[in-house]
Amino acid sequence: MVLRSSVKLIILAYAVSGLLAITVIAFAFSTPTIGGLSTYWLLLIPLAVDLIAASKHITRLATKLIITEDRVRYETGILSKSTRVMELSKVQDVRMDQRIGQRIIGIGNVSLETAGETSRIEMANIDGPQKVADHILEMVRAQRQK
């Protein structure tokens, strides 16, 4: 099982950016200047939204949680990579959190904890977080029964 953050919010940001660009272009055609300044500089707003969405998209592609039969591996990074590995049998708690906005679009945060305080792995904005948490718990139980 390989988990990545949902792409729903990124697609929404790209859509908002496109609508903003269309609105700005329509406004610029109807009002080419305001106070002697061109209104095309307003296109910087959707460009900024695009840049933010692109950075989130790259971060999404560079971060993944891989769950195998006996291990959990959290990988992050593009050029330099950081990896955390924990044994699946040592997972003590699987937690799922959803804020109101996340509940509306069906995403949430899933975190795994072991005995130590610093041994928490969290994946944000996962699609179907409750199903994922339940599946991980089933895998933990199966691993402990071996």
- What is the residue whose two structure tokens read 């039969």? 69
d(CA 7, CA 16): 14
pLDDT tens string 17-42: 999 999 999 988 888 887 777 888 88
Name which of 2, 12, 39, 4 is nearest 105 in CA terms: 12
pLDDT tens string 29-84: 888 887 777 888 889 999 999 999 999 999 999 999 999 988 999 999 989 999 99
Range of the domain at 61: 2-145
CB 139 within 8 Å of CB 20: no
Q: Show the tokens assigned to 94.
A: 């699987």
pTM: 0.79
Give the CATH number of the domain where residue 102 resides: 2.30.29.30
**Hey, which residues does 31 pair with through a beta bridge?**
none
Q: How many domains does the chain have?
A: 1
Name which of 10, 12, 6, 7 is nearest 132 in CA terms: 6
Residue 101, SS3 per DSSP? helix
CB 95 within 8 Å of CB 110: yes
118 pLDDT band, cuts 50/70/90, is: low
CB 63 within 8 Å of CB 4: yes
Say which DSSP state 39 is in: G
